[in-house]
Structure 1
């Protein structure tokens, strides 16, 4: 397998081991299982999940395979992807929020949406977003000028990525107020973003879920934002006004019998406003936290950024090319705290991989959380070692042992967008400021659709100038 043989953190200091649940030594009972999955699924996984290529278990009458072998993951997500659909439990959580957005749509609806959005995420278009990403990051950084400021960096990164998303994909024309947006998305993920106990018990769909009832107000808030945003842009287009050729305009141009319905357009906008920016925000917050706890690694990144920023104006493609160590720190943060910690599939027909029989209806979990910390694939898997992703070491990592953006036909369409956004944001913030933990900084990773820091990330921000 790939891995990090021979890779060490810079200098003699031991690498930082960030907080994470200790693998369980024995299985839990039915009621305890439901409680853990509702509270924090990351605390469920036992030692075999971090040491074996795959684990077979029966939960609530469902046969489940936890896939940690890169070959098995490739088989399910790529080689025989046609035999696997989105798992029912995952869809019960996400579809009430995203409906027929790109993350939850299947079949012809998914194909139409993917085709409609592909032109926005070509390298040429993504490079064209660099200037707006830089401008929004620089404007956002001004809020940190207050001496001795202590702020929740997790919440801040939600606001920053919202600003960038609004400026790039929607040309600054999203209805609503960003502060309220951050508050409502936290509530939405706290409620509808959790597995409901009734889903685990196999209750019929018509029975109301408590988690969904609690999240209805926040979901209505997002639906109104989207409806208002679409209405504003559509009115301008119908009047013949000049409108930006952005993500929103492109989607609206696809509306019609051969393209997307208005409902599908709104679902995809919700997907990108809600889930699309949230994943990058969480990864940015975790990166700043990890660098604060690993001063030697932070110094490596700061040195690279300082040298690059002194060069002055750069062309869009230069960010990722010239900041490989900054990118490596971000990618290592996504390894330890994958924004999307689980990928769920369900077998349509019987299948086989080597000596593993996968029966029809079985759930296959390709868990970035366990794969990224697996003892068979990584040296010092629990440690923060950005050097794993330095250019000279990247080739040792198997494509299917590192899955921050998924893989196969349903790989995240915005992966390159997110990487460029993250590197630019980190370059701006870390060139100006130093982020340090305080006594209240005691994050605990919790899965609520994304891997979130329970208690936030309160950090002290000081000027480096």
Structure 2
């Protein structure tokens, strides 16, 4: 059976994607019109097939190769090969080492106190802003810019995690990485920036050099100490015999992935709670019940914050931080009634999967109760996949949930969040699902109970 889809265009699909507002929105439109399996054009890809049915996705879950051209924009960040597309025989042992650290409780507990310090520092700054606004009777000064502040926080958290306390200049690491990202992602999405193209490229190259030097210093310290602590990322990579360039590249890709996704997930969650005060009140009640007078949770407390976890999951369903994934078929693949040829690019449109009304009634509504154990058991396994699926799914999923829940707990224990009147929040494609003009909200101190 032929796979349905739009008629081919002479421009290779560029115009259709642009007219929809980006690939993420285009896939939503395609699946609404053509059904759960759609053939579509994508620049640089001969055959692209998008699959939004969680049952059919099971047939693709074993795929372990990504299409190189779609991730080529990340090539300059790496020296030992782009970690997003390394061959399966290299990827499998590397992934095994990462999971031994990132998915383990010892690793999470080891860094939890530092994560709490960083989240509390942001909360203190927001509290000071709110107090100054109250004294000056200026409500506008009590507003915060969520994505900007929370992605900066998540970058500091992942720097602390990946580099430990051993970076000589942690703020310098953050600044250098932001410079690199501004250039490479700005080039990808044609975001306006200061200076000429050459000046921006030179700034980014210099920042990348500084960043690599700082990471190398930390790696060298681990090698001289011959560490074997399996809760330590660099120590585990060194212990597994990874060469210095690959260790450095791993740190870089972790900073890239965790920087945007965690901060954006928390931002969208606060945005939704600001528009659903009844859910925000229930989160606050749970925090008061579990934490009492404490301003922040212990690691063990996270398991008791069940409604907060449901809220976060529902936010990532409605606004998945990474809205799509992609794999490449090495041989023909049967997908329901369709035959996918070898060499085809299979797209995972996470947003379209999460909005599939067959598995999510009234999918556009914010309903955290969708994630009770009883409701979760009713759905196919792959109806919800904010961290991807299969052997290329996100190794840091467990760590990301710990970070996000901690930050939300710290902020929601202390503050009420309300939308800034007149501020439009529009999701757009920026490597992650971003808000076009950020997400501005007013913060005010919350009285427990």
Specify the SS of the correspondent of 1:345: strand
SS in structure 2 at match of 1:381: coil
Which of 59, 68, 71 is the aligned partner of 1:88?
68
Structure 2 length normalisation: TM-score? 0.83
Which residue number corresponds to residue 300 of structure 2?
317
Question: Of 115, 133, 155, which aligns to 2:148?
Answer: 155
Quick check: which one's helix share is greater? 2
Matches of 1:73 and 1:418, distance apart in 2 = 24
Do the aligned partners of residues 195 and 392 (structure 1) sit closer, same or farther apart at CA in structure 2, a change above 3 Å counting? farther
Deviation at 1:456, TM superposition (A): 0.9
Deviations along 1:251-307, whole A, 9 cap, x unmatched? 3344xxxx3222111111100112223211110111111111111111111111121
Unaligned runs of 5+ in 2: 134-141
**1:250–1:371 CA distance, 2 compared to 1 (3 A):** same
SS of aligned partner of 2:435: strand
TM-score by length of 1: 0.80
What is the 5 A alignment of 1:393-404?
A: 393-404=375-386
Q: Using CA pairs below 8 Å that are at least 6 residues apart, which structure has the higher relative contact order? A: 1
**1:191-219 CA deviation, whole Å, 9 max, x = no partner?**
254499xxxxxxxxxxxxx9999667436
Give the SS at the match of 2:382: coil
Distance in 2 (CA, whole Å) between partners of 1:118 and 1:182 is 24
How many residues align structurally?
A: 419
Q: Secondary structure at the match of 1:400?
A: helix
Decide which of 165, 169, 178 is 2:162's aligned counterpart. 169
Q: Which range moved further: 342-351 or 131-140?
A: 131-140
> What's the secondary structure of 1:338's corresponding residue?
coil
Q: Which residue in the other structure is 1:3 paired with?
A: none
Task: For 1:274-289, list aligned pairs within 5 A.
Answer: 274-289=256-271
Give the conservation status (yes or no) of the 8 Å contact 2:222–2:235: no
Give the 3 Å change call, closer, same or farther, for CA 378–334 of structure 1 in structure 2.
same
**Secondary structure of the equivalent of 2:307?**
helix
Q: 1:116-135 alignment to 2 at 5 Å?
A: 116-121=97-102, 122-135=104-117
1:232 Cα offset (Å):
4.3
Q: Say whether the 8 Å CA contact 1:102–1:113 is kept in structure 2.
A: no
Residues 32 and 75 of structure 1, relative CA distance in 2, 3 Å threshold: closer
Q: Does 1:114 align with 2:95?
A: yes
Identify if the C-alpha distance between structure 1 residues 144 and 59 changes in structure 2 by more than 3 Å, giving closer, same or farther. Answer: closer
Q: Find the counterpart in structure 2 of residue 247 from structure 1.
A: 233
1:13 maps to: none
* Contact 1:191-1:214 at 8 Å conserved across structures: no
| Cα-to-partner distance string for 1:33-84 (whole Å, 9 max, x where unaligned) | 4256466222323545147221123455722211112122121123xx2xx5
Q: Could you report, residue by residue, the CA deviation over 1:100-141 in whole angstroms, capped at 9, with x for unpaired residues? A: 354332223212322332321223322333333223222221
Aligned-residue CA RMSD (Å): 3.3
Runs of 4+ in 1 over 6 A off after TM superposition: 25-28, 210-214, 239-245
- Say which is worse superposed, 238-247 or 68-77, in terms of deviation: 238-247
Question: How far apart are residue 343 of structure 1 and its match?
Answer: 0.9
The residue matched to 2:235 in structure 1 has which SS?
helix
Decide whether the 8 Å contact of 2:287 with 2:409 is kept in 1: yes
Tell me the distance in 1 between the aligned counterparts of 2:119 and 2:205: 28
Aligned to 2:139: none
Report the CA distance shift for 1:159/1:112 in structure 2 as closer, same or farther (over 3 A): same
The structure-2 alpha-carbon separation of the partners of 1:216 and 1:301, relative to structure 1 and needing over 3 Å to count, comes to farther
1: CA distance between counterparts of 2:74 and 2:301? 36
Kindly state the Cα deviation for residue 445 of structure 1 after the two structures are TM-superposed.
1.3
Does the CA-based 8 Å contact 2:353-2:383 persist in structure 1?
yes
CA 1:187–1:44: 2 relative to 1, 3 Å: same
Q: CA deviation at 1:394?
A: 2.1
What is the CA-CA distance between 1:345 and the residue it aligns to?
A: 1.2
